[in-house]
Amino acid sequence: MLKGYLAIVLHAHLPYVRHPEFDDFLEEDWLFEAITETYIPIIKVLAGLERDKVEYKLTISLSPTLMSMLMDPHLQYKYLKHLDKLIELSAKEIDRTKWEEAFNKLAHMYHTLFWEARHIFVDEYKMNLVNAFKHFQETGHLEVITCCATHGYLPLMEVERKASVRAQVRVGADLYQKVFGKRPAGIWLPECGFNPGDDEVIKKEGIRYFLVDTHGILFGTPRPRFGVFSAYLTKNGVGVYGRDTESSKAVWSAVEGYPGDHNYREFYRDIGFDLDYDYIRPYINADGVRINTGIKYYKITGAGGHKEPYVPETARARAADQAGNFMFNREKQAEHLLGQMGDRLPVIVAPYDAELFGHWWFEGPQWIDFLMRKIRYDQKTIALTTPGEYLKIYKKYQVLTPAASSWGWKGYSEVWLEGSNDWVYRHLHKMVERMVEAANNNRNAKGLLCRTLNQMARELLLAQSSDWAFIMKTGSHVPYAVERFREHAEHFTELYEQVKQGSLDEEYVKWLEDKYSIFHDIDYSVYSTQ
Amino acid sequence: MAQTPSRTRENRQFRFPQGYGDNKIVLLARDPWWVFTYWEIRKANEEEAVRKIEASGDSIAKSVLRVYDVTDVSFNGKNARSYFDIELRGLATNWYINVGSPDRAWIVDIGIVTKKGSFYPLARSNMVKTPRFGMSDQLDAEWMVPEDEYWKMFGLSGGFGVGKGSLEVREMIKKRLEEQISSGGISSAASFYRKPGERKFWLVVNCELIVYGATEPDAKLTVQGKKIDLRKDGTFTLRFALPDGKQVIPVEATSKDGIDSRRITPIVSRKTE
């Protein structure tokens, strides 16, 4: 007997990094690694489920910056080059490891994986992986949702809040609509950062639901009747879901989390760092800095430095066991909730960063694959759903205002507002203020003025990425984050002065339009408050 | 970072301004207990305040942030529920303020307190509300259940089990939020939960073997029975990870017409002590 629903939500996002001025740019590897290790493996899982006619439900949010990069011809071309080098390296590794059987098998595994990735990327999706997600959405099994335009962290947009939030939401939803042909059902708020009132903007943009962390619902007003186990509606009639703690812990927790299993692949032993420098030199960064190649031969093994060779078959069996364990625990959870839920069945919402699966947790995509299949065939207690579908089941949902919250460390804004990064808000707020002023003073602009105002909006949005503040806090790649923030502020300010003084510079605008090449259809009037 | 993006306008090395010439103070809520504020005060505004103070026969005692609790009031400068002052020292242009109370509304003035105790505000902030922390007391008649039912759902949602009291659950939620079972952020920039172990002194030694040679460019060559492609000039290079033990490596070349052949067999052994 059906006792509850499970909604797995993956949030896929990377900041917009694109540098045509360099053949090889370190931070572009974030995208390339994620494509090979996360997006393509997930696509492979979904294709397998489709081939085997498995009924499944999964939700993925694709951030507009990630979508834009996946659709960008320059980055597609660069990714292919990157992948071809990996194919070459893995072929060399097959020869080099000839006398070490355990590693030789793994070299063959990587070589096969990279060739498969190439086939999927080039032959099946013609270099544009967004088409894959579009296809799976059309099969009715995948719910693709959107995110804010550049993953701007909404709670700290205190100055001109409405215009700021509206631009982040609308530009994201518009890109989604252009690609998927309809308004997105839901939106992933960057870092689950919610500020009461932002739901009004979400509603106006035609989006039906968003997600918050557990305490966003638990501390909501009035008191929630169903904990996090039902959808709620905000006063504006937008659906909202809270994250389930138990299922989050199972995957995220350092102590209990699945990815820490000793049979799983060790992330921190990569041949980019382990092998002889001269040998690996052509496959690391152009400036000679060692980087992860993605070829990793060891399993976690245990604490301490000693590592043993990775055994894919054993790891796969563990992924299957853990998927079974996860399913079993959700069944128990649903049974436990039975009788507490009045007229409805509970929904357990389990959101994760997509890049956890495959990139960090190599076996993560297999785990998803097993989970989808097991839930379909091995039990009848729970069923998969999406937040969009659960909202259609019942006639009424309790009305509630979620509490301000995020899913960052300590649950609020401290990650993005602390000693290392608090200096950015002074400038971000000024930029928004100026953007609103320029939009109000130049309504219905045409021609170059319009292009200049649109470019201002792009620079502002790019400066607002939560990633820059996040990187400043976490400490690696800091100079890049600071430079990007500085760069967008510079261009924004220059354009603002040009508009104010009426001295437009077409060549400059053209250069900027090409440089990052994002949000081609943006309309600066989204910032107008009149 | 590998490279710095090139810019065509190198001559305009942009720096963030010290100020924008504004006279304002902005307030942000960081969490249920802390707010953050930054400000910029025009010199002229400050001087005018000083003139006023002196004209009234008073003098400056200190610069302060005056933090008003304006929960449920429409603030007019005088009707705050309570306020406290933070004395500013040095050249601060921002401040983290411990307001200590969730679910309250706050406004901050920056200003001057005089020796006689008067306050001359220089700028007033926006209002922010600290997030609510704890279960709401407001009940929804339409969705009413007995008190312990609410707590049961609350405990199940937070993964705490059931039957916990309010204080206890709040502490548990705080603890959970600090465990960071949350966003890993950018794929490779972020530190995942499994950081590489703290290492002290260490040494790693590995061996590889290079086997190289040359023959007629059109000859056929095998190494350990496996066909090897020659470079255009007939040379070849092979690289092997060399484990402990003995490796017998027969290298065999055969001329294009199949008539001549040569065989050379290096034997290599590695022993690690």
- Chain B hits for A260, Cβ within 8 Å: 194
pLDDT-derived band at B196 (thresholds 50, 70, 90) equals low
Going by C-alpha positions, the residue among B230, B220, B225, B231 that lies closest to residue B256 is B220
Using the Cβ of A486 and the Cβ atoms of chain B, whether some distance falls under 8 Å is answered with: yes
Two structure tokens written together for A409 = 């460390």
- pLDDT, residue B3, reads 42
Tell me, what's the ipTM?
Answer: 0.94
Query: Which residues sit opposite B209 in a β-bridge?
Result: B240
The pLDDT of residue B166:
66
| pLDDT attached to residue B8 | 46
Task: Note the pLDDT of residue B188.
Answer: 44
CB A294 within 8 A of CB A37: yes
pTM of the model: 0.94
pLDDT category at A92 given cuts 50, 70, 90 is very high
CA-nearest residue to A11 within chain B is B183
pLDDT at residue B7 in the model? 45
pLDDT band at B2 (very low <50, low <70, confident <90, very high): very low
Contact by Cβ (8 Å): B246, B239: no
Mean pLDDT for all residues in chain A? 96
Among all residues of chain B, which has the CA nearest to that of A29? B188
User: Start-end ranges of CATH 2.60.40.10 in chain B?
Assistant: 24-129, 208-270
Mean pLDDT of A73-86: 97
Measured from the Cβ of residue A446, the count of other Cβ atoms closer than 10 Å reads 8
Question: Is B241 within 8 Å of A511 when comparing Cβ atoms?
Answer: no
| pLDDT tens column, A127-151 | 999 999 999 999 999 999 999 999 9
Rounded to the nearest angstrom, the minimum Cα separation between B140 and chain A is 6
Our CA dihedral for B23, B28, B34, B39, rounded to 10 degrees, sits at: -20
Find the residue in A nearest to B151 (Cα): A227
Rounded to whole angstroms, the Cα distance separating B137 from A432 reads 37
- The span from the CA of A374 to the CA of A323, in Å, is 8
Closest CA in chain A for residue B180: A409
Residue B20: which of A219, A411, A430 has the nearest Cβ? Answer: A430
Which of B181, B221, B249 to substitute to test the interface with A, most A CBs within 10 Å?
B181
DSSP A21: T
Confidence class for position B148, pLDDT limits 50, 70, 90: confident
What pLDDT is stored for residue B105 in this prediction? 98
Strand partners, B223: B226, B251
**B95 lies within 8 A of chain A by CB:** no
Instruction: Check residue B10 and give its pLDDT.
Output: 45
pLDDT grade for A402, boundaries at 50, 70 and 90: very high
Mean pLDDT along residues A360-367: 96
How many percent of chain A have pLDDT more than 90? 92
pLDDT grade for B181, boundaries at 50, 70 and 90:
low
Give the whole-angstrom CA distance, residue A223 versus residue B55: 55
Measured between beta carbons, which residues in chain B are less than 8 angstroms from residue A303?
A: 197
Closest chain B residue to A400, measured at CA: B140
Residues of A in contact with B192 (CB under 8 A): 267, 360
Q: How far apart are CA A56 and CA A6, in angstroms?
A: 11
Q: Which long-range contacts (CB under 8 A, 24 or more apart) does B243-249 make?
A: B243/A99, B243/A100, B243/B270, B244/B270, B244/B271, B244/B272, B245/B269, B245/B270, B247/A99, B247/B209, B248/B224, B249/B211, B249/B223, B249/B224
In residues, how long is chain B?
A: 273
* Of the candidate ranges A101-105, A288-292, A424-428, B15-19, the one whose mean pLDDT is the lowest: B15-19
Nearest CA-CA partner of A300 in A253, A259, A265? A265
Whether chain A has a CB inside 8 Å of the CB on B128: the answer is yes
Q: Do B239 and A95 touch (CB under 8 A)?
A: yes
Q: pLDDT tens digits for A465-487?
A: 999 999 999 888 899 999 999 99
A256 in contact with B, Cβ within 8 Å: no
Distances (CA, A) of A302 to A98, A306, B7: 27, 8, 48
pLDDT at B155 (0 to 100): 87
> Within the 10-29 window of chain B, which residues sit less than 8 Å (CB to CB) from chain A?
12, 14, 16, 20, 22, 26-29
Cβ pair A188, A81 in contact under 8 A: no
Q: Out of A288-292, B104-108, B177-181, which region has the weakest mean confidence (pLDDT)?
A: B177-181
The pLDDT of residue B15:
85
Interchain proximity B186–A471, CB inside 8 Å: yes
- Distance set, CA A403 to CA A397, B132, B134, B155 (Å): 17, 6, 10, 17
Domains of chain A: 4-71+135-265+310-410 (3.20.110.10), 418-527 (1.20.1430.10)
Domain at B24-129: CATH architecture: Sandwich (2.60)
Burial (Cβ within 10 Å: 0-12, 13-18, ≥19) of residue A463: buried
Inter-chain CB proximity A245 and B157 less than 8 Å? yes
pLDDT at A254: 64
- CATH node for B208-270: 2.60.40.10
Chain B residues closer than 8 Å to A407 by CB: 182-183
Candidates A295, A357, A264; CA nearest to A106 is A295
What is the distance in angstroms between the Cα of A159 and the nearest Cα belonging to chain B? 8
C-beta separation of B105 from B99 below 8 A: no
HEC per residue, chain B: CCCCCCCCCCCCCCCCCCCCCCCEEEEEECCCCEEEEEEECCHHHHHHHHHHHHHCCCCEEEEEEEEEECCCCCCCCCCCCEEEEEECCCCCCEEEEECCCCCCEEEEEEEEEECCCCEEEEEECCCEECCCCCCCCCCCHHHCCCHHHHHHHHHHHCCCCCCCCHHHHHHHHHHHHHCCCCCCCCCCCCCCCCCCCCCCCCCCCCCEEEEEEECCCCCEEEECCEEECCCCCCEEEEEEECCCEEEECCEEEECCCCCCEEEECCEEEECCC
Nearest chain A residue to B13, by CA: A490
Q: What confidence tens digit (pLDDT) does each residue in B84-127 have? A: 999 998 789 999 999 999 999 999 999 999 999 999 999 999 99
Among A434, A424, A435, CA closest to A485: A424
Give the closest residue to A46 by CA, choosing from A441, A265, A372: A372
Confidence of residue B187 (pLDDT cuts 50, 70, 90): very low
Return the HEC string of A236-275. Answer: CCCEEEECCHHHHHHHHCCCCCHHHCCCCECCCCCHHHHC
CB A360 within 8 A of CB A253: no
Token pair 């693709």 is at which residue? Answer: A144
The helix/strand/coil state of A528 is: coil
Weakest-pLDDT range from A92-96, A116-120, B185-189: B185-189
pLDDT band of residue B165 (cuts 50, 70, 90) is: low
User: Given this model, what pLDDT does residue B189 score?
Assistant: 42
Of the candidates A13, A1, A3, the residue with the CA atom closest to the CA atom of residue A351: A13
Q: With contact defined as beta carbons under 8 Å apart, do B140 and A225 qualify? A: yes
A340 with B153: Cβ contact below 8 A: yes
d(CA A95, CA A104): 8
